[in-house]
A and B are shown apart, each in its own frame.
Chain A
């Protein structure tokens, strides 16, 4: 606000006092919810409004704001007798088309499977959601993304403990065993098929597992004095070489455990990829989704395991035909 003397001079000149009062209250409600007494106190501290001591003045000013399109909740016990400004029409706003474009932008960036990018983008969208023209589009910016069901406090803890490689106890809502407590050493996070997974050693099942982050309900405790994971367990690892062609090659991106060994754009199977397989289930899921675009080159044991899976899929269909 301008200094008192300057403001008084302006007032003497050419302003609308009732308009000034309405906007003064608007800005004060933007800062925080206020009781009627608090508003009167604020009026009394303003050189232009110091004589506005009537409670009716507050009611009338609030009504004026409401008539202009502000949504202000009535003071009641739930709001601790405060006026709460819920929305207002005085913002520069996105158009509905702007919102759809922002949403398309996020959908296009999700396909890069870059978790940090998605987290930063979601935080950014959360902050700019107040510029949305209505509640529906505001909710679209805040909630319409694949991480919407994830508790960010839990995610932050997982990120920290995966860097420290500390053993933690988590409450996991598993589809098979319902809620169970698991001792887990998180190592890294991946974002695949629109879902966020944390990878690490699971003590109970004695395997290197990947868990869906949205199914982790709580981090119970951390073993402060646990050793780093390398000394606690040995990761089962298979080095697999496979080749890709067609659509799958076109859409392929490297990740934590995979590198492109060769890229020959003129050949059928144009990409040769070396994969460090720490969880076969996840690996075969990916290989199956490549369909006929993929051929496993080595080792032979993995090729044979894939054939077993293919056979079980066929058998399932045949049994259900009968």
Chain B
């Protein structure tokens, strides 16, 4: 009798849990915790999930509506990405963040047709910054072309503004992701008179002997790196092997996490990478994460990534999504927003310093504003440097402004080419 009662209660609670009655804000997370890029995918997914758990536990969701994160494993594979997108889009998904340039290229047309916004923060298709052509895609606060420009600005800064005749090599993942900065760097090399060498590394990048032999032979003054996953670790190790000066080796923001530098040990000391948000766990929000999420046993994954660079990036992505959802609730006047409302919210998003302080993340990232025509944000980024003794990243520069004079025409040209190929008429932005 007793077991029967228990069973009945269990069944009832199962029905209640599965019941549709409660409105939820659904944020799908196309994550990858397996495969050659898992070392980068897992901390990002943890940060993304933990922020929404925190909102649910501390504030009861966004504007009183609970949030729900649906994870789907892609393994950085586009076919699985398609499967994940199709599996989750029917659940009321508000915004997609695939964390893969390949999957982003797939989803830009699909999500636009389905009317679901796409946020590719610091990756994806750079020309999605042109809001007149890419109505549903956003890549604020920074993109690869801005990253390339910031890296060059940093080199200019170190060299007192003159890098004529210097040799700069780009070591890149031989894929859509790694090829993104090439065009910008070519333009910049014309403008500043440096010599650019392109050195591709094929997926997944475990073998880079020949590339580093080439670097050793040609002795570039600086090496820029567009790498991801295991490629970063191998590159830093190889750079150490040929005794390349580490502070002349600058990675993009996806080549600057703890996972990338720790395997090389003390030899990685001084390695630089870009970043568009701050590092470390010295912010009030981390006390809340500890109290409501980690100590409550609700942390995503194994819970040991809190405070790492990529965890912070996941957290930052989730914060921007949550703020956009809040904005959308405000604009539409309803609590339970649709993907279309979410898009309007993202387009009207404004992150101020005051708001960052309220959120417990003072100085975590730059203040910026998204507009109808500019989905890309200001593109400010800073340089962080690895301290191998303290095992910590530290920002060593201010947030640089990218050279939009060079980048804006490129964005416009690429967006126009896309619009022409796909028969899109750019919309008017007031």
A-B interaction? no
Interface residues of chain B, those whose CB is within 8 Å of chain A, are: none
Chain A contact residues, CB within 8 Å of chain B: none
